[in-house]
Amino acid sequence: MDKKVVTGAAATLLWLAVALPALAGSPVTHARGVLLLDGVSGQVLYQQNGYVKAYPASTTKLLTALVAVEHGKLDQVIEISGKAVDLPLDSSSCYLERGEKQKLEYLLYGLLLSSGNDCAQAIAEGVGGGKPDQFVAWMNETARRIGATHSNFTNPHGLHDAGHYTTPLDLALIARTALANPTLLKIAGTKEFYWPGKSDRNGPYYNHDAMLSRYDGTMGGKTGFTEEAGLTLVVEAKRGNRLLVGVVMGENLAATQYNDMIALLDYGYGEFEQKPLFAKGTPFGTVPVTGGKAPGVSALAGADFLVSVPRGGQPAVTIQPKLPPNVAAPVTAGQQVGALEVREGDRLLATVPVLPSQAVLASPLTGILHWAGLALKWLALAFLGLLVFRAVVRAVRRALRRRRSRRRADSFDGRTFSSRNSATSAYRSRNRY
């Protein structure tokens, strides 16, 4: 392993390991795109075409659900439109009827369990205030915010559109964020739902995700299928403190889809272990303090950060402290004085705050200098004001003098003209005849 440390206050880069090697027990999968994500740290533990564009099909609905709970309320009542029920005949449906009214909460169960495309459209219309395009715009904004920057969504259900795409990594990030919401985690992990007023006619609504029954620790996820996308599946599983998110896209057979997901998760739990990258209170250099009783403070990590580590290996991550050149006193306990950027290659995994090792009071001399500085500032302003006042007075006096001079000149010219005019009149009178 190569280890290199480059020191410096604001741009220190600590290389902890080289790129993650392929392990001997790497899973054998059949999907066109595969990715395994550490749900705690955000590390990519395994991937095949994990950064390549793919169609998400109904796994889109995890993002739809996330946007719905961010912009709507669970008790919001949504009236079902004709467009919501006017879907392709082979489209998955919860058998909504035009004109009926349903709570957003129930529509979310239909969305994530039975993959109802009618629920997806109704949610987009209702939460979007009658403007499903606005809802789709929120979907894309949310995707970019959580780091899913190589995706584009054109609808809330995932029915095929050439401009509607994602990548396995982006889909894993979306699932990780959506299932971090307690409401969505509860819904996605529900195996069957008795919809008030509808189960009497249609029976219970079952979760399409068989991983809930087939794999110990499965928390939730989403299935999907279109002819163009193939079978898609995203699953979040938790064992102890370890949280994994698996994605398989472009499967041909349902059997291999679930087998691939199980192999992927087994690989994550079997070949990796969780270890602290750093603990809360770990020092990362010193930040100078100006005007304080102490010249500086140690910069301490403000929280623990856990990562997945290959058994017998090292994590393929880097820590980049971002420390200011100095901070001004007083410095209080708990005040953020920088940050630690945890990266996997060029990808930012997390930003952890840096806290001071101690509080630092301002020096008494600093107070004196502060008030002296203020006094000098006001004196300077007063002196400047006096100079401006004197300049204005002088300018006014000069203007008055010029004005009086012009008046005297005009008066003299007027008297001269009158004398000349009288002489001319007298001459003309003498010579009139």
Confidence of residue 367 (pLDDT cuts 50, 70, 90): low
pLDDT at 32 over 80: yes
**CA-wise closest residue to 122 among 64, 170, 171, 51:** 64
What's the rounded Cα separation, in Å, for the pair 388 and 386?
Answer: 5
pLDDT for res 160: 96
- The pTM for the full model equals 0.79
389, with CB counted inside 10 A (0-12, 13-18, 19+), is: exposed
Which residues are catalytically annotated? 58, 61, 115
pLDDT, tens only, 178-233: 999 999 999 999 999 999 999 888 899 999 999 999 999 999 999 999 999 999 99
Check if the beta carbon of residue 51 is closer than 8 Å to that of residue 169: yes
pLDDT for res 418: 53
Check if the beta carbon of residue 180 is closer than 8 Å to that of residue 172: no
Q: What angle in degrees, to the nearest 10, is found between the helix axes of 117-127 and 132-145?
A: 90
Check if the beta carbon of residue 281 is closer than 8 Å to that of residue 18: no
What's the rounded Cα separation, in Å, for the pair 56 and 325?
Answer: 46
* Mean of pLDDT over the chain: 88
**CA-wise closest residue to 192 among 112, 119, 131, 254:** 112
Residues 117-123: what's their mean pLDDT?
A: 98
pLDDT, tens only, 401-425: 888 777 776 665 555 545 555 555 5
- Counting residues of the chain whose pLDDT is more than 70, the rounded percentage is 86
User: How far, in whole angstroms, is CA 276 from its chain's centroid?
Assistant: 25
Confidence of residue 10 (pLDDT cuts 50, 70, 90): very low
Lowest mean pLDDT among 231-240, 323-332, 395-404: 395-404
More confident of the two residues 18 and 384? 384
Q: Of the ranges 190-204, 238-252, 385-399, which is most confident?
A: 238-252
Phi-psi region of 136 (alpha: psi -120 to 50; beta: other; left: phi over 0): alpha
pLDDT for res 379: 82
Residues 330-347: what's their mean pLDDT?
A: 96
pLDDT at 381 over 90: no
CA atoms within 13 Å, Cβ hemisphere of 316: 17
pLDDT for res 22: 44
More confident of the two residues 327 and 427? 327
Residues 145-157: what's their mean pLDDT?
A: 98
pLDDT for res 433: 43
- Backbone phi, psi, residue 134, to 5°: -65, -40
Tokens of 20: 């993650």
Confidence of residue 7 (pLDDT cuts 50, 70, 90): very low
Residues 57-73: what's their mean pLDDT?
A: 98
